[in-house]
Amino acid sequence: MKRILVTGALGQIGSELVPALRERYGADHVVASDIRMPAAGSALSNGPFHHVDCTSQRQIQEAVRRFEVDAIYHLASLLSAVAEERPQAAWDVNMGGLYRVLEVARENSCSVFVPSSIGAFGPSTPKDDTPQDTLQRPTTMYGVTKVAGELLCDYYHTRFAVDSRGLRYPGIISYVAPPGGGTTDYAVEIYYDAIEHGRYSCFLEPNTRLDMMYIPDAVKAAIDLMEADAARLEHRNAFNVAAMNFTPEEVAAEIARHIPEFTISYAVDPVRQGIADSWPNAIDDTAAREEWGWSPSYDLERMTSDMLEQLRRKLGAAG
Ligand code: AKB
């Protein structure tokens, strides 16, 4: 039976990946870890929690040995907008953390899941149907750490036979934990503000098209890839995965189908707009579909119905 360590477990993806992994492998077999401590009564309190700062190899090693871990989902990372504000910290956390996780994985024969991102692409990458294997010259610190991370994971696989695997996630939309510091965060905020205030002021321009994914698909993608037959994987560490792409204008129109009085306005943040403009509009995920059967369940319409229903319940709003 697998024993899994999840780093960055209190973040947007970890908050929903940990329960899904516990459901699948048993609560005692999934150790949630983070640099922060969980709040009392947190949804992660049904299984082990261990404090881990992923820039400390000793702390990662200690968690892996203590819980006899054989698979690490390494989610701890700074997102694009924060990384642009604090590039040195982003290098330390994103690269330093990954390097240390891979070293611990090498020494303890663990498999490793590492999320990359559409941020690993840059302005010279083809913007539409962005191929799996293409030009990657990102212009952000986040992107630099994501491309370097993809290469480092490949290196640990070919050089040390570490079973490393990863995905290039688009913007993730969820209602449990906030994303915290990304360029695609508007696509989460818009749902909260639609319910709480009936209006939203967006920091990206109305026609900025980006790939997005609803959290249940993001969680399923990670688990499916880690369970995939290794013999079928040609790409391993940086699979493009797509589910939907839209602009702020389009998601606002979809929300307005449920909340007719909803309005959107724009107060563009040049930094996040610049980051978004350097990313693709829509990536091609054929390799993921062919090599491990990737197939998302949610499009914009289905996600919007579910997000609004879940958020109304969470925020206690009527309607
Ligand atoms: C971000 O906006 O930084 C992330 C991402 C697309 O990697 N959501």
Closest C-alpha to ligand 1, atom 5: 171
Q: Closest Cα to atom 7, ligand 1: which residue? A: 117
Ranges for all domains in the chain classified under CATH 3.90.25:
173-211+243-281+298-318
Residue 149 in this model has a pLDDT that exceeds 70: yes
Q: Please provide the average confidence, as pLDDT, over all residues in the chain.
A: 96
Q: What is the mean pLDDT of residues 251-261?
A: 98
pTM (two decimals): 0.96
Measured between alpha carbons, how far is 147 from 240 in angstroms, rounded to an integer? 13
For the residues 126-145, what does the mean pLDDT come to? Answer: 98
Confidence label for 1 from pLDDT (cuts 50, 70 and 90) = low
Q: Ligand 1 centroid vs 28 CA: distance in angstroms?
A: 31
Let me know how long the chain is: 319
C-alpha to C-alpha distance for 197 and 181, rounded to whole angstroms: 22
Q: Where in the chain is the domain with CATH 3.40.50.720?
A: 4-170+214-240
Residues 6+ apart with CB under 8 A from 58: none
Q: What is the pLDDT of residue 106?
A: 98
Place of tokens 């967006």: 202
Statement: residue 319 has pLDDT above 70:
no
Tokens of 12: 């947007």
pLDDT average, residue stretch 205-213: 98
Residue 178: the pLDDT is 87
Active-site residue flag, 25 = no
Task: Please tell me the distance between residue 6's alpha carbon and the centre of ligand 1 in angstroms.
Answer: 19
Q: List all residues whose CB is within 6 A of at least one atom of ligand 1.
A: 79-80, 117-119, 142, 169-172, 179, 182-184
Residue labelled with tokens 């030009």: 135
Point out the catalytic residue in the list 142, 156, 175, 298: 142
Ligand 1 pocket test: pick from 173, 174, 183, 269 the residue with the most ligand atoms within 8 Å of its Cβ: 183
Of all residues in the chain, the percent with pLDDT exceeding 90 is 95
- Ligand 1 mutation target, pool 75, 77, 78, 80, most atoms within 8 A of CB: 80
Ligand 1 nearest atom to the CA of residue 184, by list position: 2
The closest-lying atom of ligand 1 relative to the alpha carbon of residue 185 is 2
CA distances from 227 to 212, 223, 232, 271, 304 (A): 23, 6, 11, 38, 29
So what's the pLDDT on residue 95? 98
Return the CATH class of domain 4-170+214-240: alpha beta
What type of residue is 226? Answer: M
CATH for 173-211+243-281+298-318 is 3.90.25
CA of 318 to the centre of ligand 1 (A): 31
Which is higher by pLDDT, 207 or 1? 207
Task: Determine the distance separating the centroid of ligand 1 and the alpha carbon of 183, expressed in angstroms.
Answer: 6
Per-residue confidence band for 2, with pLDDT thresholds at 50, 70 and 90: confident
